[in-house]
Chains A and B, each alone.
Chain A
Amino acid sequence: MSIWEYANPKKFMQTSAWALPWVAGLAIILLLGGLIWGFFLTPDDYKQGSTVKIIYLHVPSAMMGVSAWFMMLAGSLIWLIRRHHVSALAAKAAAPVGLTFTLIGLVTGAIWGQPMWGTWWAWDPRLTSFLILALFYLGYIALWEAIEDPDTAADLTAILCIVGSVFAFLSRYAVLFWSQGLHQGASLSVVGGDQVDNVYGAPLVACIAGFVLLFLTLVLLRTRTEIRSRRIKALLARERRV
């Protein structure tokens, strides 16, 4: 039995129906646990005060904002190479979720930045890159919406996703080149450096895991909806023909 069997819409619907409650439940537990732990059971930072606690929303959503795009890229490649409808629909389903995470990342960043840097918005490389990423999401979603034929839409958005990835990546480096930033370094990293303290680290990891599962839940739900709406369309078309 190969992994591609799950790309069959029917099989996918069965498997995802079984998996969804578990994924969703685990997401709720981790998010509630991580956020309560982070917000109420950790000390204030000696420099940043309680403002620092927005990190539990800011960092995971920013990470998922980027990861969702990578997932869309994978889905697009699978669609173009193997023509599995589920992967195209999963990429379509992930886009608004990824955009939302990106926007949450930007908004929480602004709320955090205001007391820290004294401004809601700075043209900092990281912030700017995320703003550009949000624009790429918007274009991708708009293209899906604009094209009527579902297979043509899947083809064109997949091509856009691949080319867009390259340009998003290029923009990231162009923006780094363009301005040196105010933004602090990576919050979590294996190699060490200017990262957050352990007190904040453990709940942060829980929150990140929770966000990953939340993302998975939303994408599974939305993919199921997409599959169902495709079936409704097919049924309506059949009705018209009989």
Chain B
Amino acid sequence: MIALLMRDLRLAMRAGGGFGLGLAFFLMVVVLVPLGVGPEFAVLRRIAPGVLWVGALLACLLSLDRLFALDFEDGSLELLATAPIPMEGVVAIKSLAHWLVTGLPLTLIAPVLALLMNLAPEGYVWLVVALALGTPALSVIGAFGAALTVGLKRGGLLLSLLVLPMYVPTLIFGTEVVKRGAVGMELGTPLLFLAGVTLASMALLPIAAAAAIRANLK
């Protein structure tokens, strides 16, 4: 299991692994939005939580179609399926690797981008907390979508269509945490829901994703 994690991280870091693309994309979204809506501080401050979350969500989506597809194409996935580790474990580890190279960096860089969006100072802590709690769900849900579409030649677009509706709860609770944090409101409820969605996804979706991969390998 640890070997698989190390391999995936190593592959992500090597040339062509696409590490950093997600971050650049996140930066791009956050730069483009003020150019589109205008530079008024008050407006940006109001929409900051939503823009940051939507940006993080789309950046997460970028690298998902390669999560299993590369291993499927070169035959590694077949070999992993016959190896002495359960497919559920493979899915969990690969989701973790995906989070470590996208979700975690996004979470860490978000405060810098929040500066560009003029987020209220009280919101910074909650932005990081919400992203740290929510982005693992994005990776696991994305892994499920990637498992469904792994056998398809051009699965990327379909993958977004399948995955984005499932991102709705995380997006809603995540932005709510930041919004409430920014104005100093009580935010226990959305925070708990956000964590709940993430934990439930982490516990259950690897099982569904593993079933999907097995069906795809048939």
Please measure, in the bound complex, the distance between the C-alpha atom of A169 and the C-alpha atom of B144, giving whole angstroms.
18
User: Quick check: which of B61-69, B73-81, B90-98, B208-216 contacts chain A, the rest being far away?
Assistant: B208-216
Flag whether A175 is at the interface (Cβ < 8 A): yes
Instruction: Output the least CB separation between A141 and chain B (Å).
Output: 10
Chain B residues with CB below 8 A from A163, complex form: 144, 166, 205, 208
Q: Could you tell me if A178 and B148 are in contact, using CB atoms closer than 8 angstroms?
A: no
Q: Could you tell me if A142 and B215 are in contact, using CB atoms closer than 8 angstroms?
A: no
Please measure, in the bound complex, the distance between the C-alpha atom of A171 and the C-alpha atom of B193, giving whole angstroms.
12
CB-contacts of B155-180 with A (<8 A): 155, 158, 161-162, 164-166, 168-169, 172-173, 176
Q: Can you spell out 24 A-B residue pairs with CB atoms less than 8 angstroms apart?
A: A132-B165, A138-B161, A139-B162, A142-B161, A143-B149, A146-B152, A146-B158, A151-B218, A152-B215, A152-B218, A155-B211, A155-B215, A156-B216, A159-B208, A160-B162, A167-B168, A167-B169, A170-B197, A171-B168, A174-B172, A175-B172, A177-B172, A177-B173, A177-B189
Say whether, besides A142-B158, A167-B169, A147 and B151 are in contact (CB < 8 Å).
Answer: yes
Chain B residues with CB below 8 A from A139, complex form: 158, 161-162, 165
Number of A-B residue pairs, CB cutoff 8 Å, is 80
Say whether, besides A159-B215, A177-B176, A135 and B148 are in contact (CB < 8 Å).
Answer: no
Interface core residue of B164, B168, B190, B205 (most chain A CB under 10 Å): B168
Measured CB to CB, the nearest residue on chain B to A137 is B165
Please measure, in the bound complex, the distance between the C-alpha atom of A57 and the C-alpha atom of B168, giving whole angstroms.
28
Please measure, in the bound complex, the distance between the C-alpha atom of A167 and the C-alpha atom of B168, giving whole angstroms.
8
Interface size, chain B (Cβ < 8 Å): 29
Q: 1/0 per position for B167-204, CB-CB distance to A under 8 A?
A: 01100110010000000000001100100010000000
Flag whether A136 is at the interface (Cβ < 8 A): yes
Please measure, in the bound complex, the distance between the C-alpha atom of A149 and the C-alpha atom of B216, giving whole angstroms.
10
Q: 1/0 per position for A163-196, CB-CB distance to B under 8 A?
A: 1100110110111011000000000000000000
Say whether, besides A152-B151, A174-B193, A132 and B162 are in contact (CB < 8 Å).
Answer: no
Please measure, in the bound complex, the distance between the C-alpha atom of A175 and the C-alpha atom of B152, giving whole angstroms.
32
Chain B residues with CB below 8 A from A164, complex form: 165-166
- Per CB-CB distance, the 4 closest pairs between chain A and chain B, nearest first, are A155-B215, A174-B172, A174-B169, A135-B165
Residues of chain A at the chain B interface (Cβ within 8 Å): 132, 135-136, 138-139, 142-143, 146-147, 149, 151-152, 155-156, 159-160, 162-164, 167-168, 170-171, 173-175, 177-178
Please measure, in the bound complex, the distance between the C-alpha atom of A181 and the C-alpha atom of B211, giving whole angstroms.
39
Please give 6 more A-B residue pairs, beta carbons under 8 A apart, in addition to A146-B158, A155-B212.
A142-B158, A147-B151, A151-B218, A160-B162, A167-B141, A171-B165
Chain A residues with CB below 8 A from B149, complex form: 143, 146
Please measure, in the bound complex, the distance between the C-alpha atom of A138 and the C-alpha atom of B152, giving whole angstroms.
17
Residues of chain B at the chain A interface (Cβ within 8 Å): 141, 144, 148-149, 151-152, 155, 158, 161-162, 164-166, 168-169, 172-173, 176, 189-190, 193, 197, 205, 208, 211-212, 215-216, 218
Say whether, besides A156-B216, A160-B148, A167-B168, A177 and B162 are in contact (CB < 8 Å).
Answer: no
Q: Could you tell me if A143 and B169 are in contact, using CB atoms closer than 8 angstroms?
A: no
Please measure, in the bound complex, the distance between the C-alpha atom of A143 and the C-alpha atom of B190, giving whole angstroms.
32
Say whether, besides A152-B216, A174-B172, A177-B193, A143 and B165 are in contact (CB < 8 Å).
Answer: no
Chain B residues with CB below 8 A from A174, complex form: 168-169, 172-173, 193
Instruction: Output the least CB separation between A96 and chain B (Å).
Output: 15
Measured CB to CB, the nearest residue on chain B to A131 is B165
Instruction: Output the least CB separation between A235 and chain B (Å).
Output: 23
Instruction: Output the least CB separation between B174 and chain A (Å).
Output: 10
Instruction: Output the least CB separation between A139 and chain B (Å).
Output: 4
Q: Which of A138, A147, A171 contacts B169 (CB 8 A)?
A: A171
Q: Could you tell me if B151 and A143 are in contact, using CB atoms closer than 8 angstroms?
A: no
Interface core residue of B148, B176, B197 (most chain A CB under 10 Å): B148
Chain B residues with CB below 8 A from A146, complex form: 149, 152, 155, 158
